[in-house]
Structure 1
């Protein structure tokens, strides 16, 4: 993973979320959520399926309507459309990978660079060297783990300051999950990119996160440093199988 320190020039600021609400018709999916995401951190948003995790990320990305306020540094982004949020460095890697299955690896990567005129394929090859060998391969023929890595690489092509990852370990074998978590740590520590990580796999998320929030029924039930959440008996009982990890 030899790369220039892309993050050294990033003007990354804290994110503050106040009173976030997301509705889908009559369904109140996110209920007054308040978050503080420190610049340069890996912040995990945890909880069971349907807890409001993905809806929270989609509000960050601007892909769902919401009420409340999302502030980056001292600037509200609430009125910005999706593409303007991407230009400001908020990039979502969606659940289910969201790659273009009938396009080549190269075409997928370049699609991620549509807001970044200085996108550098060699940069992502340094993190995912196998992609260089697969440039002309159809993305849908990659393995599940390779597709997930392609999805993350495509997000990096947009030069994010804040990388939002929605369930990156979903459906992957443990050895592949370890590879993905290694990449996430590298992105954060070496590229200085703030990571917002939504995961049902609480053990994996808390093994790399600095801070975490646990959502239940659309509300923040618990929050704290990752090690505090790992030691919390409620978290251990509900999300870690009752075993201290």
Structure 2
């Protein structure tokens, strides 16, 4: 039990992504639970049983999505929680779900499905970092845009370094307060050098952290506004071309 809070996400890209105590899950659309719709609209794109060729993206994604729920809902209590969170229609009974999940597992075994679901849950902060390195924008902003800028900074190491330097400087002060330390030139020089070193490291860390956050924010917000302007231009260019074609 990870103790995570279930957050509904209509975007399939966020399904099974987690951040902190939040786990994003996409509710099962009602039409995917209808046998006739699934057979005529999705199964027509499936690869033959036992085939080594990949199915279409639609079939692979749909079956991978449904198969992920067969892993999430294994007990009757899981179904009750899913229905309480509006992930599954309340009309679905436990026996119906058992038959449905068994049918999904049986018909997808050995088939090449979407590789996305081979990895299970994915950490959203790492996805954002990887996506940012590739596309110069995060995978998902969420409701914490400014918090995202600090996600890659290891706060644990910063705290450990601060505590370590505090202990060292306190020990130096205790030694200098003694009669032996006050009369020793070597200890005084060592304490002075240690203090200067700590000040340089602390100041340099603050400067580097500020530069890193500023550069990252600049790149992210610049890419976001630039992409928005390009989409705006493309949209109106299409409208202009459409108007010219109609005028002819």
Higher share in strand: 1
Higher share in helix: 2
- The TM-score bracket by the shorter chain reads under 0.3
- Structure whose CA Rg is larger: 2
Calculate the TM-score normalised by the size of structure 2: 0.24
